[in-house]
Structure 1
Amino acid sequence: MNLAAITFLYPAMLAGLLVLPIVWLIIRSAPRSPKQVVFPAARLLRGLRANRRDMQRAPIWQTLLRCLILTLLILAAARPVLNRTEFSRDEGAILIIAENSWSSAANWQEYRTGLSQIINQARLDLRSIYIAQTAPEASGATTTRLPDIIGPISPHEADRFIDRLHPRPWAPDYTALSNRIADHQHMANSIGSIMWLTDNMEHPAKADLANELGTIAPITVLGPKRENRIAVQSLTRNRTGLDITLAHQNMNAPGEFALLARNERGQVLLRHTVKIEPATHQTRTQIPLPSDITNSIQSLGIEGIESAATVFQTGARWQQRKVGVIVSSGDSPVLLSDRYFFLDRAISPYADVTYAPLGKLLESGMDILVATGPISGLGSQYSALERWVRDGGMLVRFAGDSTTEVEPEFLPVTLRLGNRDFGGSMSWEKPKRLLAFPETSPFFGVLIPEEITINRQLLAEPDPDIVAKTWARLTDGTPLITSAPRNAGRIVLFHVTPWADWSNLPMSGLFVEIWQRLLPLASPSDRSEAELQTSLPPQSVLDGFGRAHQPDATTLPLRTPLPMPDPRHPPGIYGKNGQAVALNLGSFLENLDSQVRWPSGTVIREITDQDQIDLAAMCLMAAMLLLILDGVALILVHHVSLRRARHKDALTSFLLLAFIGASATMLLGGRDARAVETQAAALQPRLAYLKTDVAPIDRLSQSGLAGLTEILRRRTAADLAAPDAIDPEADDLSFYPLIYWPLVDGQQPFSDFARTRINRYLDSGGMILIDSRDQEVEPARLRRLLAGLEIPILDKAPGDHILFRSFYLLDHAYGRFAAPLWLDARPDQRLDGVASVLFGGNDWASAWMLNEGIQTESRTDDISPRQREMAWRFGVNLVMYALTGSYKGDQVHLPAILERLGR
């Protein structure tokens, strides 16, 4: 250990070391012990007690030991600190600006270290703390806002707050933070220093905020040693594999990053090393891959950097569909002048295109069939084509040269005879243009070039549902593209030909974009959904570290065009089946190499790994151990014996030994009674209930859980110990698989510390059953009691939930009453989809009691034997669900599993 790294907070206390020579002289000035001379006549005086005790000089080792003890006590009073970090010497409170936007995720561990160091300094300097965040959060039904500034709080409370702080997968809002600080004028007057944990990347209004903060107090910017500013900006596929674009900061030396491609199960399909050249801010690379492996890629990430910016998801549009174009035998696009040329160039970059007769295409298992006019070979394949469409296939049709040969059985709308001609020699009308795509169209949001014109089209009869079937229309309102579901499949009709005689649409880029939107609708993985979704609900979203999880109620559905990720639309997958789209953060990130210009006077420092260590406690501990050692040595030197000493000496020696034993037990890891109970709870599982400090309710909970434990012992293999009464303020909750929480009138809300413990228990896989005990839910009381707890959105438990199948086959959460059971609407898949919070009002504890003779304040004589039996069965199911999770889900889906194995 480097002694130069030790700093004394109270150096004046070291003046006490000047007393050591005086103490040494006092101890050594005592006369030596008299010598004993054997004189036989002195045996006559044996047994007499002297009224005066002779002084004895302490041995040199004992003098040194006691001087060392005194030295340690003086050092402890001087408060030595190892690796003292002086961020600021100013007085007043500390304002910590914690960067928790997407850019902080890659260096989050360093930011946490910096936060801990700042809080340790505030603890040593006895300063209060304010904490401000930079990333906005969801607020209300559809709005977002920046979280309130926390403070003033103590360093202990700040420690607990940063445990819940985590990065967000969207951009910061420095303008809103500036307004927040301006609204807290009292805070600005009490701040002595500002600590800003961030990197040097430029963001809108970041420099302006720094200039405003510089007028309040000195600013110290703490940044990571190495900034990992890198993002996967785009991921596209070509004819041979992948095209990848990375956006990053300029590097002084060449660097390497490993790209990892994963499938839907998270398995790594590809690991590819990309070299980053210096003095560049963008890197493009190509990876040759077979088509089947490319189709399986669900996400691409950068190894070793956990951030939402480094994860790029693919969505349904990524998978390459198998498209079959119905042609006569030997017909294929081989020349530029071929009639299939424009169609082939629009589809082939994004799909596997095959040109073959209808019968061969149906046998090949195509996802999409394209007919460029009358369907060739339909006579012999009519039933097969009809069955293929009904089973989930997509048939795309175009107008042919002869409109009289269009088969009405495979059309989405009824057509009029003949066609409509614009701009011809016999027509007064001019060529028509396209209107903007309606919101009900999958092409909604695609920009329409002004040069697109239509010269001829097929006209549809004005059916009552023609508007719902229309995906694109002309300026006069007539349909250009129509579609209709057919069982699990779909039929799409272009009212023009796929070549450039009726319109210039096939020659435009709009035709390519239309096919890019059209191809994913033929989802090969799930054909069960034929209706289109105009609003795409969230399927899975990413957190700041790029880890996928189930969306919560604050995430809103998505509409095209895709917006930049924000608290209401975090990056992730939206929609399902063929309409699932991926919203990626990296697609919106540019200029990652831009550097912010800090105002003059700003101190910029790097976060170090060396944390401050308070050595005062170690000095006190060492002094106590040496004091115990001095007592033990004193006993051994003077040969104290508890058996042969006089009563007074024996009592004194016994008390000294008891004191030494108690001190050693306390210092060397002795456990109190509560620690023994905690160890027992860890060794043998048991149920628990939250103490309410209402004696009748606590006795009822104890009796109910004891009865349920006995039922479990009799009927199942679950041998649980006696239930525990726990208090989140003092007890560790992590040892209990299920906690019963009865609500009582007048119950006070939990403290911040208790709420943190409960949130950590739920986040790590624990389960809480909340019982209002009155058949009804009182929202005001429930919201007050659950304020600050991370309770998920609750929904009524369906009758086929795994909870009702875990042991007994039930259809209800039976208890003393018959109120419905509420549980997680979207359980976290990280916890195997198991609900963490269950809520109801059926007074389960009263129904679970095994001994009817227990005296409680709750009337249980209204419970029939049948009702009590069903309540026991629900209790058994509940405990099995808490212990084993969703393993019964495999049995619920057993028919589907057997069907897959049979294939």
Structure 2
Amino acid sequence: MSLSAITFLYPAMLAGLLALPIVWLLIRSAPRSPKTVIFPAARILRGLKSKRRDIQRAPIWQTILRCLILTLLIIAAARPVMNRNDFAANDGAILIIADNGWDSAANWRQYRTALQQIANQARFELQTVYIAQTAPEAAGATTWKLPDIVGPVSPNDTKNLFDRLQPRPWPSDYAALSDLISERPEMNRAVGSILWLTSEMDSPGKAKIASELLDIAPITTISPTITDRIAIRSLSRSGTGMLATLAHNRDDQPREINLLARGERGNVILRHTVEITPDSDQSDVAILLPRDISNAIQSVGIEGVESAASVFQTGARWQQRRVGVVVSSGDGPGVLSDQYFFLDRALSPYADVTYAPLGTLLEDKVDVLVSAGPISGLGSQFDALERWVNEGGMLVRFAGDSSSQIGNEFLPVTLRLGNRDFGGSMSWEKPKRLLDFPDNSPFHGVEVPDDITVTRQLLAEPDPDIVSKTWARLTDGTPLITSTPRNAGRIVLFHVTPWADWSNLPMSGLFVELWQRLLPLASPSNRSDAELQSSLPAQTILDGFGRPHQPDALILPVQTPLPTPNPRHPPGIYGENGQAVALNLGPSLSDIGRDVVWPSGISTREITDQSQVDLAALCLLAAFILILFDAAILLVLNNVSLRRSRRSNALTSLLLAAVLTGVATTSMMMPAASMAATLPEAALQPRLAYLETGNAPVDRLSRAGMTGLTEILRRRSAADLNTVDGVNPETDELSFYPLIYWPLVDGQEPFSERAQERLNRYLNNGGMILIDSRDREVQPARLRRLLAGLEVPLLDRAPSDHILFRSFYLLDHAFGRFSEPLWLDARPSQRLDGVASVLFGGNDWASAWIIPEGRDELRSEDISPRQREMAYRFGVNLVMYALTGSYKGDQVHIPAILERLGR
């Protein structure tokens, strides 16, 4: 510790040190002790004891010690502070502008440190605070706006406000902030300094609002020490893998980052090191990958950068479909390259295209079948093709060459005899153009070029449902592309040929875009519903740190073309039934490498980790210890010992016995109350466990509840489990426990890296954790903060027919002290037999599982006997589910059950 880092808030109090010489003289001013003179006549007094005490001068060590005590008290009154963060002048209120747009997430920990330092200074200086944010939030039914400026607030209330601040996965709105500040004239008059937590990245309106704020008060910008900015701008498939484009700030030296590709459950399936191009704001990366690995990628992120801009989700369009083009067995390569040239050029970058007869393609189980004209080989493969379509296949058909008949089977609409010729020598009509795509079309939002013309088409009969089946129409209203679902599959018909004799559509870039929209509809991962949606609801969304979570009611569906990420449409996956569309933040960002040019008069400083420390408490503690030391020495010097006072002896003995008894009791109770069993015991004797929180009442409640559940299991089932253990992921081995109960408490800190590693290994090996918020409130943000670093899958609401509710008793709810919904793995891994590894709710199950006995202080009086009984039943189901997995869902039991019901 350097003395230069120490300052005094009240330096005038140091003038008290001038009184130290006077105190020194007062202590040393006692008269000298008398000299001893030998006087013979005084020998008769020898052996007499006098109780009179002569006045003596204080010893030098005592004088120094007491002067030191006084010095410490004077210094404490002067309020010494180490590493004082002098951000703002003490001449008015402080306006804190916290940048919480997408670019703040990567350095949010430093931002939180700076906010704490500012709060400490405001508390020391007794300054009021105003807090403004720069990222808008949802407001009203469909709009959003910037949150109101909070204040004036006292320094003690700022901590709670700072805890609520979170980065948002969309840009800041500085124009709206300027309007908010202009609407608060009373704040502008009270503010004496402005502290702006922001990065050096330039954004629209940032320099302008800085110039306006200089007219109100001096500005100090506080920036993070890490200046690297990076985002994934685009991600696309190539014939050999994938291509990524990274946007970043310029740097003279090359640097390396790691790209992490994650699968469906969030597990890392690829780590690739990338070298950032120096002296450039963009880097293009090509990664060689097999097709099956590329198809498994659900998102790509940047290791060590927690930001929504550093995560790029793929969606259903990413998966490369297997497309089979139906041809005759005698067609050679030359004929195929001639006829299907434009079709192949449109499909080959985005799909694996195979040319083969119909029977071969059906055996290969392709995702999409394409046929031009009559389907070759349909006679012998009719049933197989019908079964393939009904089970989820997509059949795309085109008109044939010059004939008008393409067959009457497997068509979305009824065709008229003959065809319509707009541009022939016997026609008086001109070629037709395309209208904009309707709302019910998956092509809605794609811009139609003016040069697309159609000279010939197959005409459809005007059926009552022709409008709902039409995906594209010409200017006269006749259909150009029609479609209809067929059970789980779909049939699509282009009313023109796939070559350029009827239309120039196959020659255009629009043909490529249409196929880009068509291929994701043949999603092999979801064929349960063939109905399409033009309004795509959110499946999962990203927060400011790039972590996926379930959407709330504030998130609105999207329509194509996709909007720029905003509070109503944050980045994430939108759509259902194979229409999963990824809305990413990176493609909407531009010039993230450009630094802002601040106007003159603005001071800048960096965030440091040196927190302000108040040394006054340490000085008072040191003075108190020295006073005790001085008192102890005086006792010794005056012969006041424990042996000379029976009363003191008794009191001291009693005190010592109490201390020893407490220590012994604590040492005896600790292993039984909080320590996990040894490895051999846990391996040979199955038992339940609860996660220790450090909160004694909550831990006692958890232990009592899990003990009660263990007893209920022993009474009602064959599961004879041993005593409950309290476990700590930092030190205990978790793999022996089939179920761990985790109660959430206020102020609980996230796990360390060691604990995260142990918990991840526990979940990946088949373990199960029941997380209980205990307050009926299921807060995804709170859970995401606590589970940061854990490989936790996406959670979804448990359906009433889930196997968990059938594992022992027949239930329809996760009963506890309350009866709120239960959340669990949305897509449990088949490697773990489809069993959920994480369950989350707020029903306070531990309170409901306690077995009431006498005047038990832990029992809950607000739980009715019926509710407690249902909670017991759910607890039994939960343990059976953890022990047996999906055993009860096995279809092999259906015949036996039906036979029993028949009797």
**TM-score of Structure 1 vs Structure 2, range by shorter chain:** 0.7 to 0.9
Matching residue of 1:800: 801
Q: Is the 8 A contact 2:324 2:353 kept in 1?
A: yes
The equivalent residue for 1:364 is 364
> Matched residues in 1 for 2:638 and 2:150: separation?
61
| 1:872 counterpart = 2:875 | no
Q: 1:616 to 1:603 in 2, by over 3 A?
A: same
The one of 836, 842, 854 equivalent to 1:837 is 842
In 2, are the aligned partners of 1:848 and 1:872 still within 8 Å (CA)? no
Given that 2:815 and 2:874 are in contact with CA atoms closer than 8 Å, whether structure 1 keeps it comes out as no
Shift of 1:471: 1.0
C-alpha separation in 1, matches of 2:893 and 2:110: 46
459-468 or 95-104, which moves further after superposition?
A: 459-468
Paired residues for 1:58-457 under 5 Å? 58-329=58-329, 331=331, 334=334, 338-401=338-401, 403=403, 405-457=405-457
Change (3 A) 1:687 1:656: closer
Q: Is the 8 A contact 1:704 1:850 kept in 2?
A: no
Distance in 2 separating the partners of 1:167 and 1:828: 26
Is the alpha carbon distance of 1:597 and 1:169 closer, same or farther for their aligned partners in structure 2, counting shifts above 3 Å? same
Query: Is the Cα contact below 8 Å between 1:805 and 1:877 reproduced in 2?
Result: no
Secondary structure at the counterpart of residue 410 of structure 1: coil
Match of 2:494 in 1: 494
- Cα distance change of structure 1 residues 408 and 41 upon mapping to structure 2, 3 Å threshold: farther
- Structure 1 residue corresponding to 2:772, chosen from 755, 759, 767: 767
Distance 1:110 1:618, change over 3 A: same
Q: CA deviation at 1:530?
A: 1.3
Give yes or no for contact 1:326–1:369 (8 Å, CA) kept in 2: yes
Distance 1:612 1:813, change over 3 A: closer
The CA RMSD measured in Å over matched residues stands at: 4.6
Distance between the aligned counterparts of 2:61 and 2:748, measured in 1?
A: 53
In structure 2, distance between residues paired with 1:825 and 1:197: 37
The 3 A distance-change label for structure 1 pair 654 and 24 is farther
- Determine if contact 1:832/1:885 at 8 Å carries over to the other structure: no
Query: Of the candidates 807, 820, 823, which is equivalent to residue 821 of structure 2?
Result: 823
Name 1:45's counterpart in structure 2. 48
Aligned CA distance change for structure 1 residues 555 and 890 (closer, same or farther; 3 Å) = farther
Larger mean CA deviation between 538-547 and 511-520 belongs to 538-547
Q: Separation in 2 of the partners of 1:704 and 1:279?
A: 62
SS at match of 2:502: coil
Is the Cα–Cα contact under 8 Å of residues 80 and 615 in structure 1 kept in the other structure? yes
Distance apart, 1:501 and its partner CA: 0.7
Deviations 1:400-454 (CA, angstroms, capped at 9, x unpaired): 1254642322111111111111121222221111111111111111111011111
Q: Is the 8 A contact 1:704 1:849 kept in 2?
A: no
Q: CA deviation at 1:259?
A: 1.9
| CA distances 1:710-741 after superposition (whole Å, capped 9, x unpaired) | 868866859689xxxxxxxxxxxxx99569xx
Return 269-278 or 338-347, whichever deviates more: 269-278
The answer to whether the 8 Å contact 1:316/1:577 transfers is no
For these two proteins, the number of residue pairs brought into alignment is 815
Look up the equivalent residue of 2:338 and give its one-letter code.
D
Kindly state the Cα deviation for residue 268 of structure 1 after the two structures are TM-superposed.
2.9
Deviation of residue 789 (structure 1)? 10
Q: Does 1:541 align with 2:537?
A: no
- Structure 1 residues 895 and 80: CA distance shift in structure 2, 3 A: farther
Question: How far, CA to CA, are the matches of 2:365 and 2:78 in structure 1?
Answer: 82
Q: CA deviation at 1:507?
A: 0.4
Contact 1:250 1:279 survives alignment (8 Å): yes
Is 1:20 the equivalent of 2:20?
yes
Give, in whole Å, the separation in 2 of the partners of 1:853 and 1:397: 74
Check the 8 A contact 2:771/2:840 in 1, yes or no.
no
Q: Which amino acid aligns with 1:205?
A: G
Q: Distance in 2 between matches of 1:263 and 1:707?
A: 40
Deviation at 1:706, TM superposition (A): 12
Cα displacement (A) at 1:234:
0.5
Post-superposition Cα deviations, 1:170-211, rounded to whole Å, max 9, x if no partner, equal 011112222222222222221111100001222222222212
Structure 1 residues 83 and 806, CA gap change in structure 2 (3 angstroms): farther
Matched letter for residue 55 of structure 2: M
| 1:496-645 correspondence to structure 2 within 5 Å | 496-645=496-645
Q: Is the 8 A contact 2:16 2:74 kept in 1?
A: yes
- 1:810 maps to amino acid: L
Residues 440 and 759 of structure 1, relative CA distance in 2, 3 Å threshold:
farther
Q: Deviations over 1:278-315 (max 9, x none)?
A: 33211212222222222222211122211111111111
Contact 1:107 1:227 in 2 (8 A): no
Kept after mapping to 2: 8 A contact 1:540/1:574: yes
Aligned AA (2:842): V
The aligned residue for residue 810 of structure 1 is 811
Alignment-mate amino acid for residue 298 of structure 2: Q
User: What residue identity is the alignment partner of 2:355?
Assistant: Y
**In percent, how many aligned pairs have the same letter?**
59
Structure-1 separation of matches of 2:429 and 2:875: 76
1:111-162 Cα offsets, whole Å, 9 max, x none, are: 1121122111111111121111111111233221222222222223212222
Q: Residues 642-791 of structure 1 correspond to what in structure 2 (within 5 A)? A: 642-645=642-645, 717=721, 767-768=772-773
Give the counterpart letter for 2:821 in structure 1.
Answer: L
- CA distance, structure 2, for counterparts of residue 191 and residue 718 of structure 1: 64
SS in 2 for 1:325: strand
Q: Residues 215 and 836 from structure 1, CA distance in 2 versus in 1: closer, same or farther, beyond 3 angstroms?
A: farther
- Report the secondary structure of 1:493's partner residue: strand
184-193 or 484-493, which moves further after superposition?
A: 184-193
Q: CA deviation at 1:579?
A: 1.0
Gaps of 5+ in 2: 677-688, 696-703, 726-739, 752-768, 785-794, 829-835, 895-903
Indicate the SS of the match to 1:220: strand
Please tell me whether the aligned partners of residues 241 and 291 of structure 2 are also in contact (alpha carbons under 8 angstroms): yes
d(CA) in 2 for partners of 1:121 and 1:767? 38
The residue identity in structure 2 corresponding to 1:579 is Q
Letter in 1 for 2:48: L
TM-score relative to the length of structure 1: 0.80
TM-aligned CA distance change 1:333 to 1:175, over 3 Å: farther
Q: Measure how far apart 1:254 and its partner are.
A: 2.6
Deviation at 1:41, TM superposition (A): 5.1
Task: Identify which range, 485-494 or 61-70, moves more after superposition.
Answer: 61-70
Q: Secondary structure at the match of 1:524?
A: coil
Residues 331, 355 of structure 1: 8 Å contact kept: no
1:732-784 per-position Cα deviation (integer Å, ceiling 9, x unaligned): xxx99569xxxxxxxxxxxxxx9x769999xx98535669xxxxxxxxxx99x
What's the TM-score once normalised by structure 2's chain length?
0.80
> What secondary structure is seen at the aligned counterpart in 2 of 1:408?
coil
Q: Aligned partners of 1:173, 1:887: CA distance in 2, in Å?
A: 52
Q: Give the Cα separation in 1 of the matches to 2:33 and 2:544.
A: 75
SS in 1 for 2:423: coil
Q: For 1:23, give the aligned amino acid.
A: V
Query: Partner amino acid for 1:363?
Result: E
| 1:60-96 per-position Cα deviation (integer Å, ceiling 9, x unaligned) | 3333222222221111111111112211224111111
- AA at the equivalent of 1:45: L
Alpha-carbon distance in 2 for matches of 1:895, 1:178: 64
2:437–2:444 Cα contact (<8 Å) kept: yes
